[in-house]
Amino acid sequence: MISCTTSSSAPPETTGKQLSAYPLKIDVLGTKSEFLVDSQGKLKTKINLSSADNGVNLSLNEGAMLLDKDKKPLQTIHVAIDPSPPPSPDDAYTIGAVYDFSPHGANFNPQIKLSLSYNLEELPEGVRETDIYIAYYQDTEWKKLLYKNIDTERHKITTQIEHFARFAVLAPKEHPTSETPSAMSSAPADRVEIVYFHRTNRCRGCIYAEEGTRYTLETYFKDELASSKITLKVLNVEDKENAPIVKKYGAFTSSLFINTVIGNTDNIEEVTDIWLFLGNDKAFVEVVKNKIKKSLKGTG
């Protein structure tokens, strides 16, 4: 069944003869719903949508800008299984279906989260669950998305996308070597990058989260900081100079990320639990400390 944080059954708002909000019609593998975007294409509520079989999930934040290829407010989103999928790339296998997200050319700011389920039994022999990734097919070629978060318990992989195309789960044909181990293997991390993003105008909660993260690192991981086994970066998402790393992490507001680097592979995870414990010093520190300990072990 479809799941969402809020419903949008109210009729569009109007100002005189000009509509100030438009219905965004979404169809995810036959599961349909409607939400509102304003006249600029900004989503008026947070959305979390799943297909009936839970194979596809889309997560969009309130205020996300949704535009079509002509830079007009997006009014439809349609997700279907591609009946004539493109061939797999030479270096990878396609795991499960190829999903066609339309309209092609639609783009989002900030990026939206896409999760795809996969069948463990479909993985080729020798391919580890943590080796898989999501890629999109565009301009006659597959392009790998760098960001991924794999839930090995629910067999679901999540990435972040900024436009529509055809998407699928892929598995590499060649098993990663020991010099470049795959994401979240059992090998210890070569290093752990802690990145805290904030906006120019900061609230108390944002400042608390940064200070709590610094305190945790300086109290429990002093040696790792000194040796650069762990690094901390604090970046403004609105600073144009930070655009490449902001895009890499998929950040758009105050957020904490831990990147477990094993070989040449990034394993980026957003630590969302911290916002549940603002003002609770002990619980906040415990969440951050445990996440970092797991990352140092290469277990995420």
Same domain? For 200 and 283 the reply is yes
How far is 103 from 36, CA to CA, in rounded Å?
A: 18
pLDDT at 111: 80
- The answer for residues whose C-beta is within 8 angstroms of residue 80's C-beta and 6 or more apart is 27, 29, 99, 100, 102
Give a yes or no: residue 177 inside a domain: no
Which parts of the chain sit beneath pLDDT 70?
1-19, 175-187, 299-300
**206 touches 199 (CB < 8 A):** yes
Q: How far apart are CA 202 and CA 242, in angstroms?
A: 17
Res 12: pLDDT: 43
Q: How many structural domains is the chain composed of?
A: 2
Q: Which of 172, 203, 223 is the C-terminal boundary of a domain?
A: 172
184 inside domain: no
pLDDT at 213: 96
Is residue 29 situated within a structural domain?
A: yes
Please count the other Cβ atoms lying within 10 Å of the Cβ belonging to residue 22. Answer: 19
Beta strands in 39-179 (DSSP E): 47-50, 56-60, 65-67, 76-81, 92-102, 107-117, 133-138, 141-144, 149-151, 156-163, 166-172
232 part of a folded domain: yes
Q: Which amino acid is at 290?
A: N
Distances (CA, A) of 132 to 95, 144, 172: 9, 10, 7
Backbone dihedral angles phi then psi of residue 210, each to the nearest 5 degrees:
-65, -45
CA distance 281 to 274: 10
pTM: 0.60
Query: Could you tell me if 26 and 104 lie in one domain?
Result: yes
Q: In this structure, are 225 and 263 located in the same domain? A: yes
Helices within the chain (DSSP H only): 204-220, 222-226, 243-249, 281-296
155 and 105, same domain (yes or no): yes
| 5 within a domain of the structure (yes/no) | no
Same domain (yes/no): 143, 223: no
DSSP symbols for 16-28: TTEESEEEEEEEE
Indicate whether 39 and 103 sit together in one domain: yes
Task: Give the CATH number, domain containing residue 201.
Answer: 3.40.30.10
Q: What distance in Å separates the CA atoms of residue 280 and residue 283, rounded to the nearest whole number?
A: 6
Residues 138 and 273 grouped into a single domain: no
Residue 285 is predicted with a pLDDT of: 94
**Same structural domain, 208 and 145:** no
181 within some domain: no
Inter-CA distances, 203 with 209, 254, 283, Å: 10, 9, 20
- CATH number of 116's domain: 2.60.220
Same domain, 43 and 124: yes
Residues 141 and 258 in one domain: no
Domain-located, residue 268:
yes
Is there a single domain that holds both residue 88 and residue 156? Answer: yes
Residue 198 and residue 154 share a domain: no
Structural domain span for residue 147: 14-172
Helix or strand holding residue 233 (H, E) = strand 230-236
Q: Rounded CA gap, 110 and 63, in Å? A: 9
> How does 29-55 read in b/e, with b if 16+ C-beta sit within 10 Å?
bebebebbbbeebbbbbebbbbbeeeb
Please say which residue of 172, 201, 219 terminates a domain.
172
Residue 154 lies inside a defined structural domain of this protein: yes
